[in-house]
Structure 1
C-alpha cells in the first residue's frame, strides 16, 4: 500500500507543478483528502509556525513595496552595475545576490534582468554569461537570506532542536558567496564573444535591437518615502539577525505551568513574526503605505501562492510520513547509514519537482530529523535545495531568456542543455561542498 500512496503523492506534486500558482496547494489538498478519507492515514499537520512566519515577512515586504521600497533597491542595484559594465559577469551576480539576500524574495530579479542583458550587450559581453549566473545567484541569495521563506522554514522546522538563525547563517552565507564566485569564473569564458557570434551579427545587421528602459526612477516625496520604508525594513532585518546571533537578547517572560511560575524566553520564530508585523505597521504609519496597495502588490500575491503551496504539499507529505513512519525510517536509515550526505540528493530532487525551496524544506527536513541526521549536517546540506533551475520552466529562467535580445541565453534543443544548467550545478554542488567543509571545521 505504501507504494500506491507514494505514487499518489508524486502524482499530486507533478500535476500541481504543471498547474502552477496555487495549483500545487490545491493538489496537495486533493491528495490529503484521499489519504485521510480513502486510505485512512492520519491527517498529519501543516507547519503552522513556518506559515505564520512567512506571512509576517510578506506583510512587511508588501508594505515596503507599496511605497516604492523595492523600486528604490532596484535603482541602486542598476547604478552599481552601470558603473562597472566591463565586469558585468562578476558584478551582476553579486548585486543580484545582495538584493535578494536583503529583500528575502527573488521577485526583484525581474527588474534587474533586462538591465543586465542591455549592459552586457553594449559592452560586447555575451549576455548569456551574466544572465545565467545572476539567475543562479538569486537562488543562492535566497537560501542565505535570514528572512526568506526557505530560511524561515528551515529554522522553524528545526526549532525543536534549539537551532538558532546564527547556526544557519555562519555556514550558508560564506558557502553560497564562494559558490557564486566559482560559478562566475566558470561562465566568464563561456561561448564565443558577441563579435564572433554569427547569430548576433546577423541580428545586428538587421537592426533588431532596441534600448531597454531601466526601472522607474523615484524623486521628491516618493523617493523619501521609498528610502525611509527601505531603511525601516532593513532595520527590522538587522534586528532579526542580531537577536539570532545573540539569543540572550530575546525577552523573557513568566508563565504559570502546572501551578508553578516558570520563566520562558520568546522563541526565534515568534520574535521574527512580532518584528516583521511591527515593521509593517511602522511603514504604514510613518511612510503612508496603503494597506490596499500592500495587499494587491506582486509580493503579497506571490507570497500567498507560496503559502498555499506549502500548506497543501507539506500537509500531504506530513500525512504520508506519519502513516508510514516506521517503514520509511527503517528503510531509509539502512540506505543512508554512514552516508547521510545522500539526503542532499533528496533535497535537490524534490526541489526540482516542487519549484520551491521552502516547500521542499518543510516536506523533507522533518524526515531528516526523524532519521536522526545531525542538525549541523542538515544545515550543511541545505544548499542542495536549490534544484529549481534543473528544468528550464522556472519564472526567472524564462524571463532571462526572453530579455536577451542577442539570443545567446537559450533553453536548448534537448531541454536540459540550457544556459543555466552549468552555473546551476556548479554553484549548488560548490555551495554544498563548502558548507560541509565549514561544518567540519566548526564541529
Structure 2
C-alpha cells in the first residue's frame, strides 16, 4: 500500500507539472507556411518542453494577442521576413505584451519588413538596413560554396553560464542580417557576435566602409527588461532550420569541424528567452537587531542609532524546472537616505542565504535597505525595505558618560570653592 501511495503521489506530481507546462501558451507566427516543415525540429523542441504551440501565418487577419484585458498567450515567437503583422497585432501591442511581463523570440532575415525592424528597435535592438547580409571572407562555410561568404561560421559566444550553461565546441552556421545594441545599454547584450573579419553589407558588392563590423556586429541579441521580461532577437531564420541543425561545419580550408552547434545554441537562447534558465529568485528578506534598544527584534518598526543589526536574504537560481542555491561573492546591500550611508557585501552560506552584520549610522531619519543585483544573463533583483532610525530617548542615555567628566569636575570644584568661601566669611572674625 505504501508503494502504491507513493506511486500515486508521484503521478499526481507529474500531472501537476505537465498541467503547469500546458498552461504556457505560445503563439508562433510564420512568414511562410513552409517554415512549419523546414523548422519542424525547433518547433518540436518547444513542444517537448511542455509548451502548447499555436502556429499561425504572420499576416493572418484574425490574429489577436488579447481579448478585452486578458492576454491569450504567455509567449510569442515570430519567424518573420518581408510580411507585416496581421490582424489586431501590431508592434505597439507586442511592446505592451513585453511591458506586462511576457516574453518574445523574434527571428528575421535580410528581407526583414520595416514593421519588424521597428519592433526590434522598440525592444532595444537595431537591425541593419534591409537587403544587407553578414559576410565573412575568412570565416565562411566552404561546404556551402567557396563563393558564398554569407554562410558564416560564428563562434563568438557570450561568456555567461546563464545563457550558455555548456560550452559549444563547434561554431554556429549563420545566414542573415546584422544587429547592434547600444554600448551603454543596461538591458541588451549580444549572445552571438561576429568575428573580427565579419561585416554587414550587400553580398557581391565591394565595400570600403561598413557600419557594422567585427565583434560589434551582432548576430543574436538578448534583452533582459527591467520588469524581468525577456526578448531574443536573431538576425537569421536559417539558423533555426532543420537543415542548419543537421549541417556539418566546414572551414574554408575544407576542414570538417563537426556538426554545427545550431541546435544546442538555438535551444539555449529559447530557454533563456522563455525564462527556463538564468532566473534568480529572492525571498525571505529579513533584518533583525543583534544589540541595541530591542535585541532580537525581527523587522522592527524603527532602529535606534548605533544599533547592531543583521540583514539577510535567500537567493536561488532556477533552471530547467528546478531551483538551487545561488552562490556569488558580489552581492551587495546598501542602507540609503538620499545617499548610501552603508554599502557592504553579503556573505553566503552555500545554501542560498546571504547575510551581513552592520552598525546603524549615528544619523536619524527614514532609511531604506536597497539590494540591486544585475549580472549579465541573469534576471534582475531589486529589493527595498524602509526602516526609520530614531535618536536616543531622554531616558536611554547613560547616567554618567566619560566624555562629560571634565564638566562634572568643574561643577564639583565650583561647589567646593563656594563652600570654602562661605565658611571663611562665617567663621572668621573681622
**Fold similarity call, TM over 0.5:** no
Structure number with higher strand proportion: 2
- TM-score, normalising length: structure 1: 0.20
* Structure in which a larger fraction of residues adopt helix: 1
Name which one, 1 or 2, has greater alpha-carbon Rg: 2
Ranked by relative contact order (alpha carbons within 8 Å, sequence separation 6 or more), the top structure is 1
